[in-house]
A and B are shown apart, each in its own frame.
Chain A
Amino acid sequence: NAGVTQTPKFQVLKTGQSMTLQCAQDMNHNSMYWYRQDPGMGLRLIYYSASEGTTDKGEVPNGYNVSRLNKREFSLRLESAAPSQTSVYFCASVSGSSEQYFGPGTRLTVT
């Protein structure tokens, strides 16, 4: 089992460009989350999906959109990238007992 996979691993964007970060899990979990991690700020929740067909905002949703494509896949879209969105993005798959399992991350730089 791959667990949680994320693509791409690295990305450089220019301000104003758009991109989609992909996440997939094979753990049969209902819930999936997107975080960003910045130095000194810790992990901050962007959006989450408690089950297929539902999505909700987290702590820092501005500038992002998400799609829960099916039970396995949860994507994060940046419509118009800004330098403030330079960060490491982690997707997590969440068990019924709230244990979160993280993907390897996407390192995004916006210039």
Chain B
Amino acid sequence: QKEVEQNSGPLSVPEGAIASLNCTYSDRVSQSFFWYRQYSGKSPELIMSIYSNGDKEDGRFTAQLNKASQYVSLLIRDSQPSDSATYLCAVSNSGYALNFGKGTSLLVTP
């Protein structure tokens, strides 16, 4: 069973702080890793993809991948109330399927 695990939260951070979202996966041959943001009642929106070990930065978002530890994280700097959403981690082994975690709910408080 290929699993992607996320803490369901809610993770509450004050405005301006760094939000750290974590994800672990069980399939060692996974090659592609994604973070999606989903606002309540809306569809998932791709915000970051990462394919190799290390950090990848895009604006206020940084994705971190450690394949040896089977761990991927998303950091959101200078968190804003508009970042309040559910964040889905997704993992692919280059086969047909993306395995999604159930998501972490983030609440940024003013």
Contact = CB atoms under 8 A, between A and B. Distances in A.
A59 B101 CA distance: 15
Given A104-B42, A105-B43, A48 B49 contact: no
Interface residues of B, number: 20
A99 B46 contact: yes
Nearest to B34: A99
A39 to B, nearest CB: 10
Interface string B78-99: 0000000000101010101110
B43 A102 contact: yes
Most buried by B among A58, A90, A97: A97
7 contacts: A43-B100, A48-B97, A56-B96, A98-B32, A99-B46, A99-B49, A105-B42
Interface of B: 32, 34, 42-46, 49, 51, 88, 90, 92, 94, 96-98, 100-103
Interface of A: 31, 40-43, 45, 48, 50, 56, 58-59, 90, 97-105
